[in-house]
A and B are shown apart, each in its own frame.
Chain A
């Protein structure tokens, strides 16, 4: 039955420290505990600390000196534990050793169809702070309005946030990210943008790729502009990329402009191609500025026709050979039926006899040797 009070108390309890700092911690036994200072020892993250760093400050208090601390091994804090001689745990303290955060950098934002705003950023150059660091994205309308805080995090990776509504157009926004941990706060530079400058949209829908008649080096691509665009005074420009089935190299067609169809030329005959289209809403409300490219549409596959007459394509002899072989096989089985009386013993001798017969009959018919 353990005593009502904790057997010992450690000071400082759960301190926060800068990397490289030193610490003296004390373990004070509770009065009704029948142990003495010399019965105690310390461990840090499970490893026993050297007795040379201990010092008895009284009959029931043992201290330990820790110098030049490294960053915490785990974000939940280093475990500094005071033990009794038999290994039992008397008390513990979590040490949070790390660095204050660096300014978050590289804030980039985009708006899907002017309805929302998603931003992502990167932690400051040092990166590892060894402490749990919280990031808060804040935004406000320039010149007026109060600070707002983004609520939906991790929508586009760890360092991202999504603002789903209540965004105004035609007004600049100030956006910044605050990083904070136990050792301090760092605020990124403020990014200023107008929602209209960072608009992206859905990929084009209904992408169809089809042959152009019998032309074996061309394919026709057709698509519809993303439905969301038709509500706004956007123009759109498109980009097409395509590749051969077994290659990973994409060819890009850049100057597609505002059309919803395009013809790919200079293709290989009889080949399967994968095609994707993406869209950029530009000239939003006549601004002539480019937006942000959408994702690529799902790949659509189509094949170019293979001509029968072009040499080097399909081998005509091969075709004829196939029909010749079929005819010969038919003849063979007919011959077998006639000459293999009763038993279906298709031994190799029989096959040889048939080959000999075939040669004789070819000679008579004037056909080439198979």
Chain B
């Protein structure tokens, strides 16, 4: 349940701290294990999102919380790169491009969610959002860790807590509700897609044999 997920998340976060001084891990351990942990984290977030989305959509009220709700995406500036992509294009992505797409998407999604956090009404919703944002931050760190361990540079982009530029605020409350709906939908789609992305990466970078050389100095 939740405690398993939190443990996984913490492991993912810890794995990406600067190398622990006492251990001397091999590089492959970093990449292989990190990919598995990132995969696990996306599954955990997917589970958490179901509860968060349910609560949030109920707060927005019908028709937003109806199962078949499918509003138009009005032509406003595209906020988040869409997760949906041509199948052949997706298959042909290099590891770097695949990871970078995930990293960029979640960084932006995190920014938007944080803005949401400052605006919602009920205390329960704020609490759930804060928890989710913390987990999502862990995912971004985890993906960054995988990229570093494979030698890829991190994509430049909005890293701060402020809302990214080029995203105008909705002109009225109803359009804002639509934006929130689509944000949650996009988040859901990305998490589905990421599970497949990381599954694919897992097969290309298998976890190597663990070689730990502990400095035996009076231990």
Contacts and interface: CB of A to CB of B under 8 A. Distances in A.
Interface of A: 1-4, 6, 10, 13-14, 43, 45-47, 73-79, 81, 88-89, 91-94, 132, 154, 158
A78 B61 contact: yes
A353 to B, nearest CB: 61
B74 A93 contact: no
A93 B64 contact: no
Contacts of A81: 63, 174
A256 B75 CA distance: 75
A76 B122 CA distance: 10
Nearest to B122: A75
Interface in B46-73: 58-64, 66, 71-73
17 contacts: A1-B75, A13-B174, A14-B172, A14-B173, A45-B62, A73-B61, A73-B62, A74-B58, A74-B60, A76-B173, A77-B61, A77-B173, A78-B61, A79-B64, A92-B178, A94-B173, A132-B121
A46 B63 contact: yes
Given A74-B58, A75-B59, A79-B63, A2 B72 contact: yes
Contacts of B177: 76, 79, 92, 94
B63 A2 contact: no
A93 B75 contact: no
B39 to A, nearest CB: 35
B212 interface: no
B74 A45 contact: no
B182 to A, nearest CB: 13
B123 interface: yes
Given A74-B61, A76-B61, A79-B61, A2 B173 contact: no
A132 B122 CA distance: 8
Contacts of A88: 72
B179 to A, nearest CB: 12
A4 B62 CA distance: 27
Given A76-B59, A132-B121, A94 B74 contact: no
Interface in B166-193: 172-175, 177-178
B121 A76 contact: yes
A271 B66 CA distance: 60
A77 B66 CA distance: 16
Contacts of A46: 62-63, 66
Contacts of A47: 62
A47 B63 CA distance: 8
Contacts of B60: 74, 76, 79
Contacts of B72: 2, 88-89
A359 B189 CA distance: 85
A6 B173 CA distance: 14
Give the one of A78, A79, A81 with max B CB within 10 A.
A79
B63 A75 contact: no
A88 B70 CA distance: 9
A213 B21 CA distance: 56
A269 B28 CA distance: 67
B121 A75 contact: yes
Contact of B123 (A6, A13, A73, A158): A158
Contacts of B58: 74
Contacts of A91: 174
A3 B73 CA distance: 11
Residue in A4, A43, A92 whose Cβ sees the most chain B Cβ within 10 Å: A92
A154 B123 contact: yes
Nearest to A9: B172
Contacts of B62: 45-47, 73, 79
Given A93-B172, A132-B121, A43 B59 contact: no
A14 B174 contact: yes
Contact of A13 (B64, B71, B172): B172
Contacts of B122: 75
Contacts of B73: 2
Interface centre among B58, B60, B64, B174 (most CB of A within 10 A): B174
Interface in B108-134: 121-123
A260 B178 CA distance: 64
A101 to B, nearest CB: 15
Given A14-B173, A14-B174, A77-B173, A3 B75 contact: yes
